[in-house]
A and B are shown apart, each in its own frame.
Chain A
Amino acid sequence: MTNRGFFDSDHKTQCFLLIAMMLFKTFFSRLALTLMLMVSLMASSIAQDASGGDGIPTDEATISAGQSLFEDNCTVCHAVHEVVVGPALKDVHERRPLDWIQSFIRNSQKVIQSGDEYAVKLYEEYNKTEMTSFDFSNEEINSILAYIKVESGKTPVAAAEEPAADGASATQAGASEGVSDFVMYALVINLVILVLILIVLAMIVRVLTKYLEQKSDLDVEDQEIISARFSLAALFKSKPMIAIMTILFVAVITKTVIDSLFHVGVQQGYAPVQPIAFSHEIHAGQYDIDCNYCHTGVTKSKNANIPSANICMNCHSAIKTDSDEIAKIYAAVENNQPIEWVRVHNLPDLAYFNHSQHVKVGGLECQQCHGEVETMEVVRQEAPLTMGWCIDCHRTTEVNSKGNAYYDKLVELHAEHSKEPMRVEDIGGLECSKCHY
């Protein structure tokens, strides 16, 4: 075979060199272009600084003074890279002239009423929200603008909080998976060992049988044992086997039935799907929002209450506004339509329970009866809510009588005939009519 054509050895080198040269050329030209661009940019920025271009100071001290002014006064309504209450302030010095900004900060209403077109448009765009007037000097305003200008140059920091939290939960999940993996491995290893033992035993039996079969001086009974063959059918038809199986069968069925009977009327574990995929894990866990913030009735009434949509809107006016689930809240608010949450804890109507009595007076934590709701993606009924469960707690819980004058006399009377602390059962916590009437 001949090695002809473009790719013979000489040509190969030549070709390689050619391509390399071309690549280098383009690379150098690009580099040169970039360098030139950078130099020109730097030059222009230096030129601007030197002439004081937009009149905004650039020294460090002014910028840090501007930063503290901005953080103390402006962050309530403004951020540099995003709209909060008022507009985002990125490159605001390029949008409006300096004296316009100064007069708007000092008295925005005056600028709007003077009929300034831009100001009026802004006012309309932001739902006629009046900007608070700030009595700042020109220097102070310039320092704030200096800070905003510096910040404008930086790329916005994406919410660093969430990935971190996600990471934490991911490692947690990993840890719990690790545990179950370990159990799994242990089980498999055990199984393998057991099977090995079985094989070894079978081999020993076989060897022994063979050895015994060769012996001729055995009596008839022993001969029978050795030559006996295992028969599955015979085993199942044997009377003891039938008896054992029957007893086992009846026992298992009886236990299932009794267990099931004990679950009648107990809704422990009930975790219905809700109309909105609300996660207590995110709200009460990750963001640590107190239960009472939404369940406003818990210290005041019999019911803890399901929050109305206006409480959701305290945060979701601005948070996750594009989520499909949150859109359901917006729709409910707009149409004045109730959100039909599914009630999880259904105490039978025959029993009375009062939240404020337990939470406000008794000082119980919500988690004591509801479990760790802050870790639940979907809420489920954690406690059995049976009478025995209530009574158990009434027998062991000491009355939270500290600082509550209502109990003073009762504590005194109780102390007269008992050295034990006053428990709920001592003040009628076991009386039928306390809960059933």
Chain B
Amino acid sequence: MRFNWNTLFVGALAATALFGCTKAGGENQGVEYAPNMYHSVAYEPLKQITDKEAGSWLSNREDGLGEFFNSNVNNPHEMNMREPVAGTVKRDENGFLPYRLPADSLAYAAEVVKSPFEKTEAVVANGKALYEKFCIQCHGDTGQGDGKVGVVFKGVPSYSKGRVAEVSEGHIFHVITHGKGRMGAHGSQLNQKERWEIVAYVQQLQNQ
């Protein structure tokens, strides 16, 4: 049999075209093996595909939309996540009700708000671990306001000097929650238990 170079060449080209684009990189997500099993049917909180045509080539959805379409059209911006219903009160995983004092009641909070936790070693240790994740970049490892971000950000006080050395636990808790001066509110990043643990550790830094 006479060997046909052209057949081989065309075959090779076809194979390269078929499989050349499978590898992911840069903007290319690569090829999926079984797309129906890769894409969630249920709404995914951190994934949102608003293109109604996405994956229509393999879709067998009853609503006629693309297989990959995954957004909740009833929500603002077609988001899959939704804010809690207005007027509802969340009790967090540790049983706390929301901290309700508004941002401008710092003086009141400083006098009235008290920690529900005893400052045991475990609480302080937890506080230190959290401090090193959430506070250290501005306040520095010993609370002198000399963290890497703090130096650039400016206006970060020392815990152990001047007025800040004397502020009460309620004051610290309120400031973590709502922020003060240049510091932003951290209530959304830390729940109340975590905030009180950090307060315990900060109080230790005040007295260093």
- Does A194 make an interface contact (CB < 8 A)? no
Contact, CB under 8 Å: B133 / A84: no
Q: How long is the Cα–Cα vector from A82 to B11 in the complex, in angstroms?
A: 70
| Chain A positions within 8 Å of B31 at CB level | 263-265
| Chain B positions within 8 Å of A292 at CB level | 133-134
Contact, CB under 8 Å: A314 / B184: yes
Please encode chain B, from 20 to 52, with 1 for each CB lying within 8 Å of some chain A CB and 0 for all others: 101111111111111001111100011110000
- Does A61 make an interface contact (CB < 8 A)? no
Please encode chain A, from 70 to 95, with 1 for each CB lying within 8 Å of some chain B CB and 0 for all others: 01110111110010110000000000
| Interface hits, B139-154 → A, CB 8 Å | 145, 148-149, 151-154
Instruction: Given A72-B161, A246-B3, A343-B47, verify A260-B154 contact (CB < 8 Å).
Output: no
Instruction: Given A260-B19, A292-B134, A311-B188, verify A306-B46 contact (CB < 8 Å).
Output: yes
Instruction: Given A292-B133, A293-B134, verify A305-B164 contact (CB < 8 Å).
Output: no
Q: At the interface with chain B, which of A174-182, A203-211, A226-234, A268-276?
A: A268-276
| Interface hits, A7-47 → B, CB 8 Å | none
Instruction: Given A253-B12, A315-B149, verify A84-B19 contact (CB < 8 Å).
Output: no
| Chain B positions within 8 Å of A350 at CB level | 37-38
Q: Interface residue tally of chain B, by bracket?
A: 35 or more
- Does B162 make an interface contact (CB < 8 A)? yes
| Chain B positions within 8 Å of A85 at CB level | 155, 181-182
Q: Kindly report which residue of chain A lies nearest to residue B31, judged by CB atoms.
A: A264
Contact, CB under 8 Å: A256 / B153: no
| Interface hits, B165-186 → A, CB 8 Å | 179, 181-186
Contact, CB under 8 Å: A271 / B29: no
Q: At the interface with chain B, which of A116-124, A283-291, A393-401?
A: A283-291
Closest beta carbon of chain B to A122's beta carbon, Å: 16
Instruction: Given A289-B137, A310-B185, verify A268-B33 contact (CB < 8 Å).
Output: no
| Chain A positions within 8 Å of B11 at CB level | 253
Closest beta carbon of chain A to B181's beta carbon, Å: 4
State how many residues of chain A have any CB contact under 8 Å with chain B. 68
- Does B15 make an interface contact (CB < 8 A)? yes
- Does A313 make an interface contact (CB < 8 A)? yes
- Does A337 make an interface contact (CB < 8 A)? yes
| Chain B positions within 8 Å of A253 at CB level | 11-12, 15-16
| Interface hits, A318-348 → B, CB 8 Å | 318-319, 337-338, 340, 343, 346, 348
Contact, CB under 8 Å: B152 / A159: yes
Instruction: Given A253-B15, A343-B47, verify A263-B155 contact (CB < 8 Å).
Output: no
- Does B109 make an interface contact (CB < 8 A)? no
Closest beta carbon of chain B to A290's beta carbon, Å: 4
Q: Kindly report which residue of chain A lies nearest to residue B79, judged by CB atoms.
A: A338
- Does A221 make an interface contact (CB < 8 A)? no
- Does B202 make an interface contact (CB < 8 A)? no
Q: Kindly report which residue of chain A lies nearest to residue B130, judged by CB atoms.
A: A292
Closest beta carbon of chain A to B85's beta carbon, Å: 17
Q: Kindly report which residue of chain B lies nearest to residue A384, judged by CB atoms.
A: B24
- Does B53 make an interface contact (CB < 8 A)? no
| Chain B positions within 8 Å of A150 at CB level | none
Contact, CB under 8 Å: B153 / A319: yes
Please encode chain B, from 36 to 74, with 1 for each CB lying within 8 Å of some chain A CB and 0 for all others: 011111000111100000000000000000000000000
- Does A257 make an interface contact (CB < 8 A)? yes
Contact, CB under 8 Å: B27 / A161: no
- Does A317 make an interface contact (CB < 8 A)? yes
Q: Kindly report which residue of chain A lies nearest to residue B165, judged by CB atoms.
A: A72
Q: How long is the Cα–Cα vector from A79 to B182 in the complex, in angstroms?
A: 13
| Chain A positions within 8 Å of B152 at CB level | 159, 161-162, 287, 319
- Does B100 make an interface contact (CB < 8 A)? no
Q: How long is the Cα–Cα vector from A267 to B162 in the complex, in angstroms?
A: 54
Q: How long is the Cα–Cα vector from A264 to B8 in the complex, in angstroms?
A: 24
A-B contact pairs, 21 of them (CB 8 A): A69-B162, A75-B155, A77-B155, A82-B154, A249-B8, A253-B11, A256-B16, A257-B19, A265-B30, A265-B38, A272-B27, A292-B134, A303-B45, A311-B188, A311-B189, A314-B184, A317-B184, A318-B154, A338-B77, A340-B48, A348-B32
Q: Which 10 A-B pairs have the closest CB atoms?
A: A260-B19, A314-B184, A72-B162, A72-B161, A265-B33, A73-B162, A269-B25, A84-B155, A76-B157, A290-B133
Q: Residues of B at under 8 Å CB distance from A?
A: 3, 8, 11-12, 15-16, 18-20, 22-34, 37-41, 45-48, 77, 79, 93, 132-134, 136-137, 145, 148-149, 151-158, 161-164, 179, 181-186, 188-189
